[in-house]
Chains A and B, each alone.
Chain A
């Protein structure tokens, strides 16, 4: 399997490689260099071009996109209902961009389209890094904070808890990211449980392992 990553930094990309391998239980080929976006909404802006590039110019099977939720509406099971779309939910938006971009693409490189795996880190990827280390940090805690109007932590506080500073250097950030997600290398279920935004990514990844119905021998 050949996987492309669209992320916000090299540190995020290093962590995502570990997590993708953990979920797939195999080491896929990664497209290098990875694709980069300058935060939200730039991710959604560059996504159509990235999808078309991968579809026509490469033999990539799967595109992994992970963005921070920041203060946006958190994706919930209700959003997964057929035909539902929440305009302030980044998961809904990214899935819609993928759906619209791939809708009329002709076949290329032996496949109908590049599959997508979308994850939303709530509120930032540093929250994922704290999973299993700080029980106060979870998607449920963040949503409860949004509902009560009192955020349980800020992006800056998460950085302090992960890196010991809110201004980590890139090597420091990358090393820390890989170290933290390596806890989930053999079993990502805790991360899936505490962070549904990661569970959605994991489900997409596992779905990509299943050959599409048209390819199956009936």
Chain B
């Protein structure tokens, strides 16, 4: 797992560090570096695949005078001795990963873990699309091949598929089954059958139902990644349902709590929902606040605030955030 990320001259993150927990929810105004944090983590995956120190693409001469962006990653045990330094040609293109110490014995194992990092910006339009069966068993970044993933999972991991279906139907009791229609031409479609009968095809499902199904598909993945990044986790979800979303993600981050023995998945997600933030009252260490001042941004863990206990006595975290007391609000 990633223990910390430190940014230098990267977009709004001129000089910012953040320690990461097994579960991390990042809040802050637009343009405060939330997405930059997720993108930096996701960049680890392609860059770590190359030999340490070798550029992924031919590296043009760096422009003089200006210090290039740089991102340092540290890792938790058993890889705490390794540091990965990502060098960037510009604020939009990082193309080089140095590993310290060079030739670290644990690097191949860490490299294999980093290769599984995944990130998602789910889109309800994409989630609802029919997919080619051949599109694979792994969800596309926007969820575009959800139908194919469900079909592949039903075939290859029927227990995981049943657990996913069961959870979906528990949360949405107006439905009684998740149905897949596999066409001879290789297309797959899905729909949900209403408890009172009648199939609702994916294209006619509500946005919230599609997002929920997408998130549950990630949460019930029998072979999850080591790090999972999800943008705007609350998108399309009713405030009363956000607890279910948090629980689904906790299932990945804290597998022992749900009786699983598989390794935990580190989650980094963003939200703009005060209601979602309310759910972290008992775990302020899981909340990262992104502060923006002018064009520069930095991170702060909520648990690092000396007054966090007093603040939570006064009101809900969501209200505290909206009020501006926690920071992480736009400059007006």
Contact = CB atoms under 8 A, between A and B. Distances in A.
Given A72-B313, A159-B282, A169-B247, 13 more contacts: A9-B243, A36-B240, A38-B275, A41-B315, A42-B315, A71-B313, A165-B256, A166-B282, A167-B250, A167-B283, A169-B251, A169-B258, A170-B244
A39 B244 contact: no
B254 A167 contact: yes
Interface string B253-289: 0101110000000000000000100100111000000
28 contacts: A38-B275, A38-B278, A38-B316, A38-B318, A39-B278, A39-B316, A41-B315, A42-B315, A42-B316, A42-B319, A70-B313, A71-B313, A72-B313, A155-B282, A156-B282, A159-B282, A165-B256, A166-B282, A166-B283, A167-B250, A167-B257, A169-B247, A169-B251, A169-B257, A170-B243, A170-B244, A171-B170, A172-B258
Main secondary structure of the interface of A (DSSP, over half): loop
B326 to A, nearest CB: 15
Interface of A: 9, 36, 38-42, 70-72, 155-156, 159, 165-172
Interface residues of B, number: 22
A39 B258 CA distance: 25
A38 B318 CA distance: 9
Contact of A169 (B250, B313, B315, B316): B250
B318 A170 contact: no
Contact of B257 (A42, A168, A171): A168
Nearest to A163: B257
Nearest first, the 5 closest Cβ-Cβ pairs linking A and B are A165-B257, A169-B247, A38-B316, A167-B257, A167-B250
Nearest to B253: A167
B244, B247, B250, B254 pick with most chain A CB within 10 angstroms:
B247
